[in-house]
Amino acid sequence: MPGALVISLDFELHWGVRDHTTVERYRENLLGVREAIPSMLDLFGRRSIAATWATVGFLFAETKKDLEKHFPRLLPTYDDPKLSPYEAMSEVGADETSDPFHFAPTLLRQIAKTPRQEIGTHTFSHFYCLERGQTAEQFDADLEAAASIGRAFGEGETMRSIVFPRNQSNDAYQDVMRRRGIRAYRSNGPHWAYRAEARETPARRAFRLLDAYLPASGSRAAARPTARPREDELVDVPASAFLRPYTPRLRHLDAVRFRRLAFAMTRAAETGRIFHLWWHPHNFGRHPRASMAFLERLVGHYEMLRTRHGMESLTMAEASGATEARPLRRDSPSPGGALDR
């Protein structure tokens, strides 16, 4: 089997960082998303690149009223109450026009009409599956709400892929995911510096920074499933690398960073494995053009590997084998018709 490039994006806007930073402090990134996402979609569309957009359910809402209508029957009872977004609803505006930090239906419509893009879930409320105080029942209710708001938007039945907030993948919740129709998830892989359940330490952080520039952890590419998974099978499509945004302070090292990622992608192409690259759209919000230029170079490297080794570009659901990969026909009559439904 040929190797594959899988791209997944954790689309969350302020919901993903609200316990760390305020809208005011993160304003530039959160507004920059509105330039960054259309640029990414333009690149993916022009160059036939597939991607999975793991989206926080809250972002589908047209209005705050609409959002509240979809609230789950059980809310998370984290020991640390500041983790719950339901405690902070007074900070949320009426709709996307008045509050572009908490709503994104217009961006989601652009994603949905771009060929080869899969809309997955990043849970309804940016749910933390390993935090103390929450339960499997609450997670189930959260995924039910995500499906319900997605369905209202026209995506619900097709949400087959999940990315766990803060990469907190909890193996004990696999039954819940199966029940809710999830087929593919992204773990952080077994490496000690990336494992989800381990406590964060300065050593882990330092290793990951080093690993962005030098092949400290190797290629972290995963084997491709050889058989089609059973109807209720959950497939891990583990992350291989985080695409760090352009940072002026580290720009002198960008050639090294590029070589590091290109090396890992090449290894995956040569060995028939999956190279899974991920980031948050808001990471590109600060320096969208420089970050896009870097991504375009990576896409160029992938195209070389496609020619040389037949490397494919797949969504998470396609890489898991749960859905058929559909080669993009350049003459597709309507962009909406070419979606992975």
Q: Can residue 165 be called a binding residue for Zn ion (CB under 5 A)?
A: yes
| Minimum gap (Å) between residue 11 Cβ and Zn ion | 9
Among residues 33 and 339, whose Cβ is nearest to Zn ion? 33
- Is residue 58 a contact partner of residue 85, using CB atoms and an 8 Å limit? yes
Among residues 8 and 323, whose Cβ is nearest to Zn ion? 8
| Minimum gap (Å) between residue 104 Cβ and Zn ion | 14
- Is residue 119 a contact partner of residue 111, using CB atoms and an 8 Å limit? yes
The CA-CA-CA angle for residues 51, 57, 58, to 5°, reads: 125
For Zn ion, the binding residue among 3, 6, 11, 12 (CB under 5 A) is: 12
Among residues 10 and 95, whose Cβ is nearest to Zn ion? 10
Q: Which of 76, 273, 244 lies closest to 170 in space, CA to CA?
A: 76
Name residues contacting Zn ion, limited to 260-319 (CB under 5 A): none
**Which one of 13-21, 73-81, 175-183, 212-220 is the stretch in contact with Zn ion (CB under 5 A)?**
13-21
| Minimum gap (Å) between residue 12 Cβ and Zn ion | 5
The CA-CA-CA angle for residues 15, 17, 21, to 5°, reads: 120
| Minimum gap (Å) between residue 320 Cβ and Zn ion | 20
Q: Can residue 211 be called a binding residue for Zn ion (CB under 5 A)?
A: no
- Determine the Cα–Cα distance for residues 323 and 310; give it in Å rounded to an integer: 19
Q: Can residue 142 be called a binding residue for Zn ion (CB under 5 A)?
A: no
Among residues 32 and 165, whose Cβ is nearest to Zn ion? 165
**Which one of 3-11, 179-187, 238-246, 282-290 is the stretch in contact with Zn ion (CB under 5 A)?**
3-11
| Minimum gap (Å) between residue 164 Cβ and Zn ion | 8
Strands, DSSP E only, in 76-131?
Answer: 117-121
Among residues 85 and 165, whose Cβ is nearest to Zn ion? 165
| Minimum gap (Å) between residue 308 Cβ and Zn ion | 35
| Minimum gap (Å) between residue 267 Cβ and Zn ion | 28
Q: Which two tokens stand for residue 252?
A: 């002198």
Would you call 269 helix, strand, or coil by DSSP?
Answer: helix
**Which one of 8-16, 63-71, 215-223, 321-329 is the stretch in contact with Zn ion (CB under 5 A)?**
8-16
Element (H, E) at 263: helix 254-271
| Minimum gap (Å) between residue 126 Cβ and Zn ion | 6
Q: How many residues touch Zn ion (CB under 5 A)? A: 4
Helix 288-309 vs helix 254-271: angle between axes, to the nearest 10 degrees? Answer: 30
For 43, which DSSP code?
A: H
Q: Residue with CB nearest Zn ion?
A: 16
Contacts of 298 (CB under 8 A, 6+ apart): 243, 258, 261, 262, 265, 277
For Zn ion, the binding residue among 10, 95, 140, 340 (CB under 5 A) is: 10
Give the number of other CB atoms < 10 A from CB of residue 299: 18
Among residues 196 and 338, whose Cβ is nearest to Zn ion? 196
Would you call 51 helix, strand, or coil by DSSP?
Answer: strand
| Minimum gap (Å) between residue 280 Cβ and Zn ion | 7
Long-range contacts of residues 81-88, Cβ cutoff 8 Å, at least 24 apart = 82/19, 83/19, 83/128, 83/131, 84/125, 85/15, 85/18, 85/58, 85/125, 85/126, 86/125, 88/18
**Which one of 86-94, 143-151, 162-170, 298-306 is the stretch in contact with Zn ion (CB under 5 A)?**
162-170
- Judged by the rule CB under 5 A, the positions of this chain that interact with Zn ion are 10, 12, 16, 165
